[in-house]
Structure 1
Amino acid sequence: MSQDKSQLGPAQRRREISDHVLTEGSASAADLAERFGVSPMTIYRDIDELEREGVLRKFRGGVTAQPSGVFESNVAYRKKSMRPEKEAIAAKAATLVEPGMSVMIDDSTTALELARLLPRFEPLTVVTNFLEALNLLSGERGVHLMALGGDYDPLHDSFLGVPCVEAVEALRVDVCFVSTSSVVGDHAFHQEQRIVAVKRAMLAAAGRKVLMIDHSKIGRTALYRLAPLSAFDLVLIDDRTPPDVLRSLDESGVPYEIAPVRAPA
């Protein structure tokens, strides 16, 4: 017998609202009120709290986990989004790694897919501020793992802030792999200033800089400019990227490689 969701306490109801929206992408307040057997006013209070916590964002009449120009999606939602494309890009990125290298990866979910492949290149030094990547690699005896500290942000599952930037600035790595949430024209952008600060420090600390972006990032709006595409030694994109975008990259002279996405089984 299914649980009567109207009997849930506020904290548990908000967790279930969050899980539902992260799975579906968005939901209307009316649907949520019916689903949880509470009044619209109660749902709007829940939505206000979830937005305050940065888990979800409101729109007229509902709530969404999808990004906007000033809001990056929760890491739990990003991990589910564009998974085949991210896996393809990570596989292409892995061809740039060799045993003995020092590799820095950011807190993007594309970089997390790359982290899953890194143990095959042991011995390797891996530097990251992404807690899930740290946990993933912590049991690998051939990986010298370096954690970048700072202020822990549960929405990104990573460490950020001035201490993280200073930790990055003390290092020099062979290659840095980063992703970002937006590419418009010949520049990469991101919604959050503190994320931009860490990514810029990572790029400055690397001998080789690689940008990993799936085609959903192309043309998406984000508030802060991260870097021109020309600042990267290589851009990795998936083969579902529109031809006009590829032509633009060709015309601008930005070096790029295309990652083939595996067809669904």
Structure 2
Amino acid sequence: MSQDRSHRGPVQRRREISDHVLSEGSASAADLAERFGVSPMTIYRDIDELEREGVLRKFRGGVTAQPSGVFESNVAFRKKTMRAEKEALAARAATLIEPGMSVLIDDSTTVLELARLLPRFEPLTVVTNFREAINLLAEERGIQLMALGGDYDPLHDSFLGVSCVEAVEALRVDLCFVSVSSVYGDHAFHQEQRIVAVKRAMLAAAGRSVLLIDHSKLGRTALHRLTPLSTFDLVLVDGRTPPDDLRSLDERGVRYDVAPIPDPPSRRPR
């Protein structure tokens, strides 16, 4: 297998490296060199290029798809993580929506789970900059879909930049749903300033705003402070959130609700 792979071009090899690391979460350079039948020097060149493209992140001796305080994970990796928690958050968020509303959703994979539920509330006006959400809702006749333009960013599969911010600023919606990379203390954070600019515009354009955050993001740090948690009318956390984190939200006076996570079918009592 490695001999066959060694004859593949760098573009195809990097795509396969990316797929492998996104699937596994991380990999060492030595393992990748053996797996793809190339030299460690070649693998390090591939890793450098994948990091430059924002697909993966280097660490000593290897590469990872995991986020850091300055690196947001690729959307393909984020879609695979915390699925049960995201579905629970989306189900709870959906109870806030009524037919006839205008709803603004960001480019997070957490809120993408909510986008899958929106056809239940037709007629509905939905505004988003997330290409996957646009594709998901484009054929729904009962949804008036407004796609926010801007500079396309393949890492997030969304439209960003000044023109996106200006498009948001021209709107006023009933409800806005967003997620972030981390919550630390009484603030929400994100690694990338261009994402922060769009999310801030979204929050300012909404009559009410809701933050959906799974427990893995609590107590984590990221480079850019987005907004105080008090900005949100409601913060939704999942049912696996540790009691200490809930107590911290209580102490800070954060308006929050817990989205229960159903037991898997095999674990439900008969």
User: Residue 52 of structure 1 aligns with which residue?
Assistant: 52
Amino acid at match of 2:5: K
Q: d(CA) in 2 for partners of 1:228 and 1:6?
A: 51
User: Residue 104 of structure 1 aligns with which residue?
Assistant: 104
Shift, 1:221, TM fit: 1.4
Q: Does 1:235 align with 2:235?
A: yes
Q: d(CA) in 1 for partners of 2:166 and 2:156?
A: 19
Equivalence map 1:171-210=2 (5 Å): 171-210=171-210
Shift, 1:260, TM fit: 0.9
Shift, 1:74, TM fit: 0.3
Q: Give the match's secondary structure for 1:220.
A: coil
What whole-Å deviation, never above 9, does each CA across 1:97-121 have from its counterpart, x for those lacking one?
0000000000000110000000000
Does the 8 A contact of 2:188 with 2:226 survive in 1?
Answer: yes
Q: Does 1:16 align with 2:16?
A: yes
User: Residue 76 of structure 1 aligns with which residue?
Assistant: 76
Q: d(CA) in 1 for partners of 2:13 and 2:5?
A: 8
User: Residue 4 of structure 1 aligns with which residue?
Assistant: 4
Shift, 1:3, TM fit: 8.0
Shift, 1:157, TM fit: 0.2
Equivalence map 1:114-263=2 (5 Å): 114-263=114-263
User: Residue 268 of structure 2 aligns with which residue?
Assistant: none
Q: d(CA) in 2 for partners of 1:3 and 1:139?
A: 45
Equivalence map 1:28-67=2 (5 Å): 28-67=28-67
Q: Give the match's secondary structure for 1:80.
A: coil
Q: d(CA) in 1 for partners of 2:161 and 2:92?
A: 30
Identity %: 85
Does the 8 A contact of 2:104 with 2:176 survive in 1?
Answer: yes
What whole-Å deviation, never above 9, does each CA across 1:25-65 have from its counterpart, x for those lacking one?
00000000000010000000000000010100100000000
Shift, 1:73, TM fit: 0.2
What whole-Å deviation, never above 9, does each CA across 1:135-178 have from its counterpart, x for those lacking one?
00000000000000000000000000000000000000000000
Q: 1:130 to 1:3 in 2, by over 3 A?
A: farther
Unaligned runs of 5+ in 1: none
Shift, 1:264, TM fit: 2.6
Q: d(CA) in 1 for partners of 2:43 and 2:232?
A: 45
Query: What TM-score, normalized to structure 1?
Result: 0.98
Does the 8 A contact of 2:70 with 2:223 survive in 1?
Answer: yes
What whole-Å deviation, never above 9, does each CA across 1:210-233 have from its counterpart, x for those lacking one?
000000001111000000001100
Query: What TM-score, normalized to structure 2?
Result: 0.97
Does the 8 A contact of 2:89 with 2:259 survive in 1?
Answer: yes
Amino acid at match of 2:76: A
Compute the RMSD of aligned alpha carbons: 1.1
Q: Which runs of 4+ in 1 moved over 3 A?
A: none
Q: Give the match's secondary structure for 1:159.
A: strand
What whole-Å deviation, never above 9, does each CA across 1:167-192 have from its counterpart, x for those lacking one?
00000000000000000011000000
Q: Give the match's secondary structure for 2:27.
A: strand
Amino acid at match of 1:132: E
Amino acid at match of 1:191: Q
- In the alignment of these two chains, the number of paired residues is 265
Q: d(CA) in 2 for partners of 1:255 and 1:226?
A: 17
Q: d(CA) in 1 for partners of 2:264 and 2:9?
A: 40
What whole-Å deviation, never above 9, does each CA across 1:75-97 have from its counterpart, x for those lacking one?
00000010110010000000000
